[in-house]
A and B are shown apart, each in its own frame.
Chain A
């Protein structure tokens, strides 16, 4: 039984590491002979040595700088094979054949020689060696009705691989718009054409959607409706979808976020939401905006909210506290370092404005400007990003009304601000007026904060 298994292995290394102790030399010799027996299915093609072609300027050697393919990959004519460099010139080498890469003759940074083999490509035996130039005219094929050769009296340019793809999908090349050089039809053009046909949305966005195959009428349960109402049976189309799942490791900053959010999950959150009438604030900001501009500061609503939070924290300092790991001690922080959630390319970062309790709205606004420009340049420093005691997330700038924000440890509370909406409200006299309403959603650590405190703070 063991010998049988050995025979099926296509790699001598595998045999050596796992079975050698159980066998004597004769068994190994036997397996040596069997080494050439391949179990892979596609193996009857012709191996062609693709040589490095002339670079020009009398150059005879180049350095291999990057491989675009690896052994086992399938390539089409004109696909990029590798990048080589010679004396300040970077050269992209493209494949002349369709086939499977069987061997790379050089490693990275090795010297490759013009005229010597660069890669070995296994070409499909049934097709033979592909010609060196573009295929402009192909001999009449049995699927002629599907692979139209001419568009408006001009020949269509497409590689054999692309033609095969079109044929496999019953596509007339004449109906496909070519976006390659000289209107050559590329693989992407066929895929786009297919996408339009099936209505599927194809990548580059990974969030592609597939239209599920429609159920056949026989499998539907007997309808209790009357048979006079005939449901038209949709024609099921062959679903062609060539998107692929993409898996990436969670790295760097995302990994840190995973840790933080997992820790945050341990905090028992409770939420409290309310609606705030900002009509007067909107007016005030309008009046102050130009004044701030003169002083070189862009004034948004955030500085007001930040200051308001700080004033509230003076009355309810427990919201500016921190609970230690063992839940034994509460540390009331003296400084109000209000964090402002910022959406950047990397993700969510939270720089904070230090000591808001002693800052004016204008000072907060200018500090916020500084943090925002550093944030978008990706240059926030350590001190800007640490030491926060309370966080505000102005998600309303993107949209939304209510949110359930997650507290950022080691803090104990967070506020999410929705967008400002113009809504009808009743005033003290029972009259309807135009109000500027914003919703705020607070989350707090229920181990040390109670609902009443949160509600009063919010008020």
Chain B
């Protein structure tokens, strides 16, 4: 298996390295590649790499990949609006922001991802999706699957089994889509439900849909079979061998510069910082000893950082100076529970050492955390 992988990787390097002959490349055959990694950031980085470095004038590429549990938001979306970040952190599910537009999806190993790379002029999403449907029907003729005009693939006319997104650059374009084979629907629905209230933004909203796994329709289906069927159809339509080249997204020699791309996709600045400006306007109750307090919070968040922060507390509950200190410190800091905790606990060191004060402060900060 290893030798096969090696052989495949070597072949790839010959193909990927475009000769110095200028615009025309000597090989113009389309290609099917599959990632050996299930790391969402590494796989997204491969897409970036192909988009930036491959010459797609005379050839097209199909990229097949799967990820370990992750939520992937679209380029211009707001993660707080789209998913339950608290739950994600608890369950150790990764959060990634892709470079293409569209809505939020949940990936796990029961979901397959397909990316169709073409040059800008040959960008045609409907064709790609029809190819997928054709492959599914060739595999299981009884499947009732069709493409909608929103570029979704529906099963039995009602359940969404695939969502689409695309990225267009100056000379290249890619269209990628998901395909639910055997994903965990329970986790999917719970992580894609946002508990955060009072958010107002112009970020692209997701359109929720009822989903179903192909496995539920036909329990003999596996991800491998689907990948294979799609590759076969692609090979037929592009007149190439049904041959899948494996690539390792961590291999810097095969894909020079890929590790930097992966790193960038992991940064807080990309995942959270690229969220379009939004505001949070909410109130919550805090129970302290025998009383219930009403707290009103208003914040403006830009580039993932709190630009404006206002906390309205019942009078005298906390010394005014302390409250304004908290608001001042939060201003400019990341809209992030961890940042808030470390900030708040550090500030506590310079507050008067009073147990009651400390427990009130901690209670307030806990609640502020919950908003993030």
Residues of chain A touching chain B, judged by Cβ–Cβ distance below 8 Å, are: 55-57, 65-66, 78, 83, 85-92, 94, 108-109, 136, 151-152, 154-155, 157, 181-183, 249-253, 255-257, 259-260, 263, 322, 324-325, 331, 346, 349, 377-383, 385-386, 408-410
Contact = CB atoms under 8 A, between A and B. Distances in A.
Contact of B276 (A57, A108, A250): A108
20 contacts: A56-B121, A57-B123, A66-B76, A83-B76, A85-B76, A88-B74, A89-B100, A89-B165, A89-B166, A89-B167, A90-B75, A94-B169, A182-B55, A251-B331, A252-B305, A252-B330, A253-B346, A263-B349, A382-B365, A385-B341
A88 B102 contact: yes
**Main secondary structure on A side of the interface with B:** mixed
A259 B350 CA distance: 8
A383 B124 CA distance: 55
B152 to A, nearest CB: 10
A256 B346 contact: yes
Contacts of A154: 20-22
Given A89-B168, A90-B74, A181-B53, A386 B345 contact: yes
B353 A85 contact: no
A87 to B, nearest CB: 8
Interface string B338-372: 11011111111110110000100010011000000
A57 B125 contact: yes
B160 interface: no
B164 interface: yes
Contacts of B365: 382
Nearest to A56: B123
Interface in B203-231: 204
Contacts of A322: 353
B349 A181 contact: no
Contacts of A349: 342
B166 A90 contact: yes
Contact of A155 (B22, B124, B170): B22
Interface string B315-339: 0000000000000011111100011
B89 interface: yes
A181 B352 contact: no
Interface residues of B, number: 61
Given A88-B151, A88-B164, A255-B329, A83 B75 contact: yes
Nearest to B350: A263
A8 to B, nearest CB: 35
A68 to B, nearest CB: 12
A90 B89 CA distance: 28
A385 B366 CA distance: 13
Given A182-B22, A252-B305, A260-B346, 17 more contacts: A56-B124, A57-B125, A88-B164, A89-B165, A89-B175, A90-B101, A151-B20, A251-B331, A252-B339, A255-B343, A260-B349, A260-B350, A263-B349, A325-B352, A346-B342, A379-B89, A382-B366
B186 interface: no
A340 to B, nearest CB: 14
Contacts of A260: 346-347, 349-350
A375 B366 CA distance: 17
B332 A410 contact: no
Contacts of B165: 88-90
B170 A183 contact: no
Contact of A249 (B76, B123, B332, B353): B332
A381 B342 CA distance: 9
A228 B338 CA distance: 68
Closest 7 CB pairs of A and B: A252-B333, A251-B332, A88-B102, A90-B101, A385-B345, A89-B166, A256-B346
A55 B168 contact: yes
A101 B345 CA distance: 46
Contacts of B120: 56
Interface of B: 18, 20-23, 52-53, 55, 74-76, 89, 99-103, 120-121, 123-125, 151, 164-171, 173, 175, 202, 204, 276, 305, 329-334, 338-339, 341-350, 352-353, 358, 362, 365-366
B20 A386 contact: no
A256 B22 contact: no
A379 to B, nearest CB: 7
A109 B362 contact: no
A108 B346 contact: no
Contacts of A385: 341-342, 345-346
Contacts of A383: 362
Contacts of B330: 252
Given A88-B164, A90-B101, A409 B349 contact: yes
A136 B120 CA distance: 21
Given A55-B168, A90-B166, A260-B350, A182 B339 contact: no
A19 to B, nearest CB: 33
A325 B100 CA distance: 55
Contacts of B305: 251-252
Given A88-B100, A91-B168, A253-B333, A410 B349 contact: yes
A256 B350 CA distance: 9
B163 to A, nearest CB: 8
A152 B75 contact: no
Contacts of B121: 56
Contacts of A94: 169-170
A55 B151 CA distance: 17
Contacts of A78: 170
Nearest to B347: A256
Contacts of B124: 56-57
A252 B166 CA distance: 36
Contacts of A263: 349-350
Contacts of A92: 167-170
A136 to B, nearest CB: 8
Contacts of A378: 338
B243 to A, nearest CB: 26
B20 A152 contact: yes
A263 B353 CA distance: 14
Contacts of A88: 74, 100-103, 151, 164-166
Given A331-B353, A409-B349, A90 B76 contact: yes
Given A85-B101, A255-B332, A260-B349, A56 B168 contact: yes
B344 A382 contact: yes
A322 B173 CA distance: 63
Contacts of A91: 167-169
Contacts of B331: 251
Given A66-B76, A386-B345, A255 B333 contact: yes
Most buried by A among B21, B202, B305, B345: B345
A109 B202 CA distance: 7
Contacts of B99: 90
A251 B55 contact: no
A346 B338 contact: yes
B171 to A, nearest CB: 8
A183 B346 contact: no
Most buried by B among A89, A152, A408: A89
A256 B343 contact: yes
